[in-house]
Amino acid sequence: MYNSVIVSGVLAWLVAQIIKTILYAVKSDKVVYERLVGAGGMPSSHTSMVIASLIAVGKAQGTTSTLFGVMFIFACIVIYDAMGVRHAAGQHAKAINKLNDIILKNETSQTDNKKGSIPKKFKELLGHTPLEVVGGAIVGIIVGILIPVKG
């Protein structure tokens, strides 16, 4: 059984995650394996996945099909969420982490810090900038075009 929509989407996600891991390693001079599955960063794997799937549906069902229309709306929602809500949540996490560091420094300088009172760091890489979304779209377009539709 072969489903070009699933193959295109999963392969585009995988390619984007590998690119993301390599770019992060080059930028930070260290390999962080969490980037292979983590959200956020360049390129957007969410965008690459939905764009590749959208193209596969278009190739298999035609761009005037109901399924293509549903997939297009779904892609818009995913991309909007990646740039909007999740990006804002990442910015909030960054600000909260910074405030926690300031509070922790202040508490440590005034008293002995009790074990267990160190606040958990919030994940900051959650959403995407428009450039990261464009990068993901390019990956998705390439993969979506290259994956054949059978049957």
pLDDT in tens, 54-102: 999 999 999 999 999 999 999 999 998 887 776 677 677 777 778 777 7
Among 103, 104, 80, 84, smallest CA distance to 92 is for 84
Q: Where are the domains of the chain?
A: 1-84+129-151, 85-126
How many CB atoms sit inside 10 A of residue 141's CB?
16
- State the Cα–Cα distance between residues 94 and 121, nearest whole angstrom: 9
Helices (H), the chain: 4-28, 45-61, 66-83, 85-110, 130-146
pTM of the model: 0.75
pLDDT per residue over 8-42, tens digit each? 999 999 999 999 999 989 988 888 888 888 877 88
Among 113, 111, 66, 39, smallest CA distance to 48 is for 39
- HSE at residue 14, side-chain half, CA atoms within 13 A, is 8
Angle in degrees, CA 130, 132, 134, rounded to 5? 70
Report DSSP state, residue 29: T
